Structure 1
Amino acid sequence: MARRVFLSFKAEDRKRVDGLRLLAANPNFEIEFYDESVRDPYDSTNANYIKSKLTEKITRASVTVCLISEDTHTSEWVNWELEKSLEKGNKIIAMALKDVSRAVLPRKIKELNLTFHSWDHEHLAKLINS
């Protein structure tokens, strides 16, 4: 059975994240991805609706992968998604997007003192499945 994975990332990184979805098509990786690209401000009038939809996706997953770019730390949505993932009991993995070698980590990643992994799709698959 495929592991269900919620992807947390800054909406502006959507195109960089799309390549990762190819892992789900690889027969060597039994992974199913859930995510939502949130462009609305965290305090928008749609926030409660967006939060309910994100909560559904996070609840269906057992692992949350926070994909980190140079600007991910500025997203309140990412911090909220990580908090919800923690409440749900999801394993949380912090991994850089491809070609990101240095970044300021999101507040929740720092609070949890999680390891920041360099981009490596094979290592990511191992982390997800361990």
Structure 2
Amino acid sequence: MSKKRVFISFAIEDKSLRDFLVGQAKNENSPFEFVDMSVKKPWDSAWKTNCRKRIKGCDGVLVIVTKNTKKADGQLWEIKCAKEEEIPLRGVWGYKDDRPTSLPKELDGVRVVNWTWDNIENWINSL
């Protein structure tokens, strides 16, 4: 089975969570595999064009949801872009005990689940 191409959308303040997820997937005990297509550094003024190309080339977009998401303009744009391109989205709570009380409108209709291997694996396998 080939690896799925997954774009990881995250607030820059939550970069360590993205790094953890990528590392988790490389663990030999990990039940899931994917190719990380997230934006690792800011682009010039054409970043939205470049970002859209990456998102369009992915099987899905995994959104790391934290209290920072609501104010993360780039992340919110990525979510909107994925919806426009009809790329499947799944949210995972970045922190078990620190969840925002409300989600931004961009996440309307996006299922947000606990960050577990089973939840991530099942979603990736469904792509």
TM range (shorter): 0.7 to 0.9
TM-score, length of structure 1 as denominator length: 0.81
2:115 corresponds to which residue?
119
Q: CA RMSD in A?
A: 2.1
Residue 25 (str. 1) matches residue 23 (str. 2): no
1:30-69 alignment, distance < 5 Å: 30-37=33-40, 46=44, 48-69=45-66
Matches of 1:18 and 1:100 in 2, distance apart?
20
Aligned to 1:2: 3
Identity among equivalent positions (%) equals: 21
Deviation at 1:22, TM superposition (A): 2.0
Match of 2:106 in 1: 108
What pairs with 1:77-116 in structure 2 (closer than 5 Å)? 77-103=74-100, 104-110=102-108, 113-116=109-112
Is the CA contact 1:10–1:37 (under 8 Å) kept in the aligned structure 2? no
Segments of structure 2 that go 5 or more residues without pairing to the other structure are: none
| Paired letter, 1:71 | N
- Matched-pair contact (CA < 8 Å) for 1:69–1:100: no
TM-score (norm 2): 0.82
Task: Specify the code of the residue in structure 1 equivalent to 2:16.
Answer: K
Task: Indicate how the Cα distance of structure 1 residues 93 and 102 shifts in structure 2: closer, same or farther if over 3 A, else same.
Answer: same
CA distance 1:63–1:38, change in 2 (3 Å): same
> For the residues of structure 1 that align with 2:37 and 2:97, how far apart are their CA atoms?
23
For residues 20 and 49 of structure 2, the distance between their equivalents in structure 1, rounded to whole angstroms, comes to 26
User: Which residue does the alignment assign to 1:16?
Assistant: 17
Give aligned pairs, total. 122
Cα deviation, 1:78-122, whole Å, max 9, x if unaligned, reads 221112111222111011113344213232112xx2222122132
Aligned partners of 1:123 and 1:79: how far apart in 2?
A: 22
Instruction: Determine which of 60, 68, 76 is the counterpart of 1:71.
Output: 68
Q: How far 1:39 sits from its partner (Å)?
A: 6.1
Q: Quick one: structure 1 residues 8 and 23, their matched pair in 2 at CA, closer, same or farther if it must change by over 3 Å?
A: same
Q: Partners of 1:36 and 1:22 in 2: how far apart?
A: 16
Gaps of 5+ in 1: 41-45
